[in-house]
């Protein structure tokens, strides 16, 4: 029996704001949408156009406040060919939330406060 990655999920408070962020910051595009028949939730699957892995953004209709992430240290990592250009781009966007020059990485924060690790391509 072999398991392979399919997708990661993040619940988002403002779906349109999150979609705009992921498109601008990381170039992710919607590749599939699922709507609940009763309108209670919407799922948007984002892809990078290169790998088969997808990021599922879940919007829940009745959520009336931003999500409390607490001490959650789960993150998703993205690699990029031109690390320095990506760093400058994210710096201009104002979304860098943590830098670790010793490890050669940094993190950006999405509209819900999820951290996304940016690493240089190997």
User: CA-to-CA distance for 69 and 67, rounded, in angstroms?
Assistant: 6
> What's the count of helices (H) and strands (E) in the chain, helices before strands?
2, 8
Other beta carbons within 10 angstroms of residue 57's beta carbon come to 23
Give the active site residue among 24, 29, 88, 117: 117
27-34: long-range contacts at Cβ-Cβ below 8 A with a sequence spacing of 24 or more?
A: 28/55
- Can 73 be counted among the known catalytic residues? no
Catalytically annotated residues: 117
């Amino acid at each position: 029996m072999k398991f392979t990655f399919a997708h990661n999920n993040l619940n988002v408070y403002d779906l349109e704001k999150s979609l705009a962020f992921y498109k601008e910051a990381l170039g992710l595009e919607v590749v599939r949408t699922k709507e609940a028949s009763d309108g209670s939730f919407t799922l948007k699957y984002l892809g990078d156009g290169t790998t088969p892995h997808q990021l599922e953004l879940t919007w829940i209709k009745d959520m009336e406040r931003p999500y409390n992430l607490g001490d959650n240290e789960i993150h998703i990592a993205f690699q990029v060919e031109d690390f320095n250009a990506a760093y400058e781009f994210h710096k201009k966007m104002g979304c860098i939330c943590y830098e670790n020059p010793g490890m050669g990485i940094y993190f950006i924060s999405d509209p819900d406060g999820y951290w996304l690790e940016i690493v240089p391509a190997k």
